[in-house]
Amino acid sequence: MTQNTVNPGTLYVVATPIGNLHDISQRALDVLSNVDIIACEDTRHTNRLLSAFNIKNKTISLHDHNERQRQEQIAQMLVQGQSVALVSDAGTPLISDPGFHIVRHLRGENLPVVPIPGACAAIAALSVSGLATDRFSFEGFLPSKSAARQAVLSNVAHEPRTMVFYDAPRRAIDTVQDIVDVLGGDRQIVIARELTKTFETVHANSAQNILTWLQQDANQLKGEMVLIIQGAERDPDAIPPEAIATLQLLLDEMKPKKACAIAAQIHGVKKNALYQYALDMK
């Protein structure tokens, strides 16, 4: 069923393709054709997309540098009953793209904001990565400088969830070298490059093997990529931080043996491990 109408006074957050134009949804085309105006990260880029689908509509820019000024202007348009679409250059707006400030502003004003879902590189990559998808964290862009990148990687070294990053393939060798140095060469990673495009490549292996592969094939350093890192394996003997917090509270009130027994029962951890921890704390 095609719904080719738009509601007045509504902002539509419209996902656009990340490469293959056929990934645009019918609903996205309907909205882009029928709204009063389209706010775009880059009007020239979006006008090329619109002309590929024979859509003629008005566009205005909305990017990192003018978003806060535009938000009031767009709020006014909505109050006056106009409908507006928000698009970025590719994929889902707001996901490492402009749009957060305006959506937060409009929500604060109780004005309607409607998603038109579609492509998102992070989710597309995750869906074919073969890494755990039950819990994951989206980490956005990795820093371009090695020291800052290593700091980010150290911070997530014990993160048990699958981690999804955006990064530039031209930095891929340096990035994967940092992963080997900080997280170890055995950590499984996935490089998803040029998704939905001619040279789409999804490669999964240990960080060390991916590093060797990248060093041997300069073609893998072109285009756009998503980097996915397997979450850290849980150490079965590790004491969860909640158990340590409970133990610390109890130790102020009672003898270590009793405190460890109670904390162990509450958190389902080994009493002896807690007792050893309490001894080490002294």
Residues near ligand SAM (CB under 6 A): 18-19, 88, 90-92, 95-97, 120-122, 166-167, 192-197, 224-226
CA dist 229 and 207 (Å) reads 9
Tokens linked to 240: 């969860």
Percentages helix, strand, coil for the chain (3-state, rounded to 5) are 45, 20, 40
Query: At its nearest, how many Å lie between ligand SAM and the CB of residue 167?
Result: 6
Closer Cβ to ligand SAM, 91 or 231, answer by number: 91
The answer to whether 122 touches 227, Cβ cutoff 8 Å, is: no
Query: At its nearest, how many Å lie between ligand SAM and the CB of residue 228?
Result: 11
Closer Cβ to ligand SAM, 221 or 244, answer by number: 221
Tokens linked to 23: 């990934």
The answer to whether 165 touches 228, Cβ cutoff 8 Å, is: yes
Residue type, 40: C
Closer Cβ to ligand SAM, 81 or 140, answer by number: 140
Q: Which DSSP letter does residue 16 get?
A: B
Please report the DSSP string for 116-147 in residue order: E----HHHHHHHHH-S--SSEEEEEEPPSSHH
Please give the residue whose beta carbon sits closest to ligand SAM in the complex.
91
CA dist 9 and 17 (Å) reads 26
CA dist 240 and 245 (Å) reads 9
Closer Cβ to ligand SAM, 96 or 150, answer by number: 96
Closer Cβ to ligand SAM, 18 or 264, answer by number: 18
Closer Cβ to ligand SAM, 30 or 194, answer by number: 194
